[in-house]
A and B are shown apart, each in its own frame.
Chain A
Amino acid sequence: AQKVTQAQTEISVVEKEDVTLDCVYETRDTTYYLFWYKQPPSGELVFLIRRNSFDEQNEISGRYSWNFQKSTSSFNFTITASQVVDSAVYFCALSELGGGSEKLVFGKGTKLTVNP
């Protein structure tokens, strides 16, 4: 069965620090997708990135970067020079096609607090 583990429940940093959010997943499929979503206090989940299982290239988008390693089943997310506006709950999610029905499974989330 698929599973996503975000071991860090809460992280608190000071503005301008770098921070890495960990995500470890389990799946028996060879074809799957991994996602990161951000959930600010307003409650709406905001899509950040998608990565498919055949593309292990790391990606950078501004202050955000993602490190995908199939060998360790990890898809970690780093925020460089964090800002107060980065404060939110971040969810890692896995999507696979199981039994003909696609399912998106979320981790429990990591609450990030960036203090000024």
Chain B
Amino acid sequence: EAGVVQSPRYKIIEKKQPVAFWCNPISGHNTLYWYRQNLGQGPELLIRYENEEAVDDSQLPKDRFSAERLKGVDSTLKIQPAELGDSAVYLCASRPRTGLGNEQFFGPGTRLTVL
């Protein structure tokens, strides 16, 4: 079974430029997460989707961040414009269904460097 796929793996941009990350979850997984992991820290949730609905985006900085999950499968996270402080690893995770305690399966992440 294929795991969570993310692309690109690395991205270097200059500040004020836009950037987008793509995630393809494990087939059949209804729940999809985007996390941001700063250096030396644990992942922090940005947004959670149940199918195509964003059910928790309270941590998403909506002035510059946006996300979508059309058709309830793939998802894209966008930053526009990027700031120096956005440099981090952006992780996508998925799990098969809603329910407290189900483990999440993580992708390899996209390492973003903003110069």
Contact = CB atoms under 8 A, between A and B. Distances in A.
Interface in B1-60: 3, 33, 40-45, 48, 55-56
A37 B101 CA distance: 14
Interface string A35-54: 10100001111110010100
B66 interface: no
Contact of B100 (A4, A33, A43): A33
Interface size class of B (residues with CB under 8 A): 20 to 34
B65 interface: no
22 contacts: A4-B42, A32-B100, A33-B100, A33-B101, A43-B108, A44-B107, A44-B108, A44-B109, A47-B103, A47-B104, A52-B101, A91-B43, A93-B42, A96-B100, A103-B45, A103-B56, A106-B42, A107-B42, A108-B41, A109-B40, A109-B41, A109-B42
Interface string B88-105: 010101000010110111
Given A107-B42, A109-B41, A101 B55 contact: yes
Interface in A18-45: 31-33, 35, 37, 42-45
Interface of B: 3, 33, 40-45, 48, 55-56, 89, 91, 93, 98, 100-101, 103-109, 111
A95 interface: yes
B43 A45 contact: yes
Interface of A: 4, 31-33, 35, 37, 42-47, 50, 52, 91, 93, 95-97, 101-104, 106-109
Given A45-B91, A45-B106, A97 B43 contact: no
